[in-house]
Amino acid sequence: EHQGKASSCTWAVWPQSCLHRYGFLLLLLHSLKTVTALEKKNIISKLGDNVTLSCIYTKKNLQLKNLRVYWQIADDSYQEKCSVVHALISGQDDNTNQCIRFKDRTQLFWDRLESGDFSLLLLNVSQSDGHTYKCVVQEKTEHPKVIHQAEVALSLAASYSQPILSGPIRNSDSPGEEVTFNCRSGNGYPKPNVYWINKVNNSRLSPSKIEIIPHDDGTFSVFSTLKVKATSNMQIECSIENEMLQENLSANYTQQKKSTGSGTESDENLGKKGQGAQAAGIIGIVFVIGLLTGLICWLWRRRSSNLVSYRDGQPIENQGGLNSPA
Ligand SMILES: *[C@@H]1O[C@H](CO)[C@@H](O)[C@H](O)[C@H]1NC(C)=O
Ligand SMILES: *[C@@H]1O[C@H](CO)[C@@H](O)[C@H](O)[C@H]1NC(C)=O
Ligand SMILES: *[C@@H]1O[C@H](CO)[C@@H](O)[C@H](O)[C@H]1NC(C)=O
Ligand SMILES: *[C@@H]1O[C@H](CO)[C@@H](O)[C@H](O)[C@H]1NC(C)=O
Ligand SMILES: *[C@@H]1O[C@H](CO)[C@@H](O)[C@H](O)[C@H]1NC(C)=O
């Protein structure tokens, strides 16, 4: 009975006439699982990368024109949204039923098909590509026969940026010597774990706030705030963990020794020095301008008196006119 239905879904018109029977087809493939071993793989890719979903059949020589290879999303509940990721029918790509999300983003390796490598190159992956993909290879005999299947679970990840730790900020309105540290990072996927560590004895500190903000591109930013009692030798570390990538990025704060002055004090000194230098500069410029003005006046006088002495023989009336600019 199964075979009767299957044969009405003929090769020549597939997949159009077969798609509405997709559920049935899957059921058929399901029942053949015992015949063909299903190889399963997990891969992790970073957002924006190109990823190769592997599907390799090595058992015998293949005639491409007798084959039908299709890649689909294995999750049954996803079938209605996207049934075909990529299809190769009788040795040619068949885009007719490819779902739009994968348009121009999938490629088979043409030089490797003859040797049974039906791996799929998926370009520019985004977090919405995180699914389990299934490759099904059918051989055209009297009835289509599944000769190979493979599943690849694709997980997406993105590294967080180097965390930025700021603080300590004194909390004037709180009792005791409480200080606040802030730590932020971003551009990561999936959601991170945030750890605050007291490096003096490597104990965990609990933050007063962890805020994880999703962005349109699917990545997350993270902001965390820690409030601690100030001590004389604070060493605080903020660590952002991407569990999927097994990555931990950290930033730390180490309190300066009292003898050399704390960070803020030396900053203030630097500020004062800077202001002093500025004032000295201005005084210097004013002094130089004054000096130049004096020099110009002196030169002008000299020139005028020279002219006067040169024209000594001339009538006296001109002397007043020449001297007036000085
Ligand atoms: C992905 O493949 C495309 C086309 O082959 C190429 O232009 C691009 O640089 C690749 N991207 C990465 C991250 O390798
Ligand atoms: C990659 O995909 C993202 C969306 O997921 C898109 O904004 C970007 O332009 C694509 N990059 C390339 C090189 O196609
Ligand atoms: C670690 O040191 C801090 C003081 O810097 C102290 O309050 C805390 O109890 C210590 N934790 C452990 C586990 O020793
Ligand atoms: C990251 O750091 C935290 C805190 O030190 C630790 O518990 C966790 O195991 C680390 N993760 C990795 C992947 O190193
Ligand atoms: C603290 O961070 C600096 C760089 O920001 C690094 O050089 C140093 O080794 C770190 N110290 C500790 C104790 O992790």
Beta strand 220-229 with 235-242: parallel, antiparallel or unpaired? Answer: unpaired
Q: What is the mean pLDDT of residues 238-244?
A: 96
How far away, in angstroms, is 203 Cα from ligand 3 center? 7
Distance 50 CA to ligand 1 centre (A): 6
Residue 122 contacts residue 156 (beta carbons within 8 Å): no
User: What does the pLDDT look like over 275-293, one tens digit per residue?
Assistant: 656 766 666 766 666 777 7
What is the percent of the chain where pLDDT is above 90? 48
| Mean pLDDT (whole number) for 186-209 | 96
Question: Which residue has a Cα nearest atom 10 of ligand 1?
Answer: 50
* pLDDT tens string 120-166: 999 999 988 999 999 999 998 778 889 999 999 999 999 999 999 99
Tell me if 2-156 shares its fold with 164-254. Answer: yes
Q: Which ligand has the minimum distance to the alpha carbon of residue 232?
A: 3
A 10 A CB-CB count for 73 gives 21
Is residue 182 within 6 Å of ligand 2 at its C-beta? no
Q: Which atom of ligand 2 is nearest to the CA of 47?
A: 5
User: Which is nearest to 58 in space by CA: 135, 136, 114?
Assistant: 114
CATH topology of domain 2-156: Immunoglobulin-like (2.60.40)
pTM: 0.63
In this prediction, residue 225 carries a pLDDT of 97
User: How confident is the model over 70-85, as pLDDT tens digits?
Assistant: 999 998 777 677 889 9
Average pLDDT over every residue of 195-200: 96
Run of H or E residues at 248: strand 247-254
Q: Which two tokens stand for residue 275?
A: 């202001």
Cβ of 126 closer than 6 Å to ligand 2, yes or no, is: yes
Closest to 85 measured CA to CA, from 75, 96, 70: 70
Residue whose CA is closest, atom 2 of ligand 5? 252
- Residue ranges covered by each domain of the chain: 2-156, 164-254
**What pLDDT, on the 0 to 100 scale, is given for residue 2?**
40
The total of other beta-carbon atoms located within 10 Å of residue 262's CB is 13
pLDDT exceeds cutoff 90 at 262:
no
The average pLDDT across 300-314 equals: 58
The response to whether residue 127 sits with its C-beta less than 6 Å from ligand 2 reads no
Does the pLDDT of residue 43 top 70, yes or no? yes
Locate the ligand 2 atom nearest the alpha carbon of residue 48 and give its number.
1
CB 69 within 8 A of CB 139: no
Q: Is 87 helix (H, G, I), strand (E, B) or coil?
A: strand
Least Cα distance to 129 among 67, 73, 54, 193 occurs for 73
Q: What is the CATH number of domain 164-254?
A: 2.60.40.10
Residue 170 CA to ligand 5 center (angstroms) comes to: 23
pLDDT at position 217 over 90: no
